[in-house]
Amino acid sequence: AELKKASKRLTCHKRYKIQKKIREHHRKVRKEAKKRGRKKPKKDPGVPSAAPFKEELLREAEQRKQRLEELKQKQKLNRQKEHEKKRKLEAKKNAAKVKEKAEGKESSGKSKAKTNKLLDKNSKKSFCRELKKVIEASDVVLEVLDARDPMGCRCPQLEQAVTCSGGDKKLLLVLNKIDLVPKENLEKWLHYLKKEFPTVAFKSATLMKDRTMEQFKKRRARVDLSRTTECFGSKCLLKLLQQHGKTQNKAIQVGVVGFPNVGKSSIINSLKGVRACNVGLARGVTKSMQIVHIDKQTKMLDSPSIIADPSNSALALALRSIIDTEESDSADALEGVDAILNHCSKQQVMMHYSIPDFRNTEEFLTLLAQKRGMLKKGGVPDMENIAKLLLCDWTGAKISYHSQPPVSQRPPPYLTEDKIAEMQECWNLKNLEEENTTTVQALKYPSPASSIIFQSPGMADGTIEENKVIEEASEWENLETGKEGEEEEEEEDFTESEDDQDDVEEEKDVKEVNQVSGTPALALVSLTHDFLFSESEHSNSLSLSLDKTADEDDAYDFNTDYV
């Protein structure tokens, strides 16, 4: 026979008895509370409207309140740091115990090798190695340039490596994002660049069809993706590459290279017509060589970004270096924004962002953060994140700006007349020029007034040789050992320093202030007396204040003159 579960139903007699006991208990609790008596907190009546100097008093009270909040926030951060230190020490001790229990040294050696491989994938040394592979494997190298600053996207080291490599290796310039510059400026740049290398005008598609996009379209039929999926110049480029393949009588490999965020992967996706390569606003999305088959005769090789040399100007590093926006230092981001603003028209920047006049970069970022609602706790502008967002806007396809080509045509030293002629042969230049004109005519462009005038820093030096970034790569490889060293130092120095003692004193001050600052209305009688009769006595009575300056000596303090 199966056992049945016991029923939870009660008899009415038992249920009523329980309810009665509960009522008696509540009655007893209320009776005891009545005997003890409740002390209601006194409500602060505030400052009467007839009181003298009311506005000054309220302003000073608000300032004092803000200082108290800032101090509390600082103490909270210090407590979090201490907690983090303790947590790291405990984690290290646990890791040491696990290591002791582990059998043999081989297993530990294998795990270290795996971590080194994972770190090496993201290292600058690995980027250079993959880029070198692409250059060596390709018959034609496409150097992708941002049409807003073509000269700043050119890398002399790359161009020299391709032109001086020997053989039939060719270099083509692809001027991408042409829809973000005025038409006259684009024509000037095409005229300037074609004298050195064959140049193709291109506008890549920003959204490509894949499985997720098809599902998105099925769910929302109203979304119009025709404008974003349109690309211009793809037929011209494909035709040019196919003709070159026919002259060589073989299948050709085309390497796509350039600085971060110029649109290398987007160009491959546009030529393929499908999202074959990952793209994104973040810099350095492509980390290794990717092969994409366009047709039987053409293979596209996607490459990681060129590593910008640290010797470049602050502006070139801000726009062309591989910066992780989540982990990068706020000082680097602020320096990059400062360099951008110094190379632009101030009036045009104000018009574009719809903000009033500003004196410096910090004020500009403060106004922009307030406008976009990027504020921290207490209404403090989030300077770090707004600076990173602005850098993303300038490297992405959001802002329209343009730079003027140099007045005189001065090719670099490695580009002799013979080299230029060698790079331009085997291409149908007349047909290319006609295709470029049709591409230019087909697009809509921003007006010169709405596009920000930008002063280009010139060619950006890049690092292609793996040997030149050994020091930077070693930082990635020795990341674990560095962390261990830091943790050891923390364990040795985990004592209360002078800063910690200062924080303790500040906490005491805050407690005293909180105890004293009860109701400001109680101080009103002494307040009016002090203001009207004796300023000297009043200045002596101001015993307690936080971060008081010389200008605030005559200001009234709510926390004094009463007990």
pLDDT digit string (tens) for the chain, length 563 residues:
567 788 889 999 999 999 999 999 999 999 998 888 776 777 777 888 888 888 888 899 899 999 999 999 999 999 999 999 999 999 888 888 888 877 655 555 555 555 454 445 557 778 888 888 888 888 899 999 999 999 999 998 888 888 888 778 888 999 998 989 999 999 999 999 988 889 999 988 776 554 344 343 444 444 344 445 678 888 888 888 888 888 888 888 999 999 988 888 888 888 888 887 878 767 767 777 888 888 888 889 988 888 888 888 888 888 887 765 455 566 778 888 899 999 988 899 898 889 999 888 899 999 999 998 989 888 899 888 898 888 888 888 788 899 999 888 788 888 888 888 888 888 888 888 888 888 888 888 888 888 899 888 888 888 887 776 644 434 434 434 444 444 444 444 444 444 444 554 544 454 444 443 444 443 443 444 444 344 444 444 334 333 444 444 444 444 444 43
Contacts 24+ apart (CB under 8 A), 285-289: 287/121, 287/122, 287/126, 287/127, 287/130, 288/121, 288/126, 288/130, 289/130, 289/133, 289/134, 289/137
Encoded tokens for 104: 């043999």
Centre a 10 Å sphere on the Cβ of residue 99 and count the other Cβ atoms it contains. 9
Q: Which residue has the tokens 């929302």?
A: 220
The residue among 322, 298, 300 whose CA lies nearest residue 309 is 322
d(CA 413, CA 182): 31
The residue among 242, 230, 231, 229 whose CA lies nearest residue 300 is 242
CA triple 452-456-459, angle to 5 deg: 150
For domain 314-395, give the CATH number. 1.10.1580.10
The residue among 308, 287, 257, 327 whose CA lies nearest residue 123 is 287
Every domain of the chain and the residues it spans: 120-207+227-309+402-446, 314-395
Q: Which residues pair with 452 in a beta bridge?
A: 401
* pTM for this entry: 0.60
The CATH number corresponding to 120-207+227-309+402-446 among 3.50.50.100, 3.40.50.620, 3.90.1010.20, 3.40.50.300 equals 3.40.50.300
The widest CA-to-CA distance across the chain, in whole angstroms, is 109
One-letter amino acid of 354? S
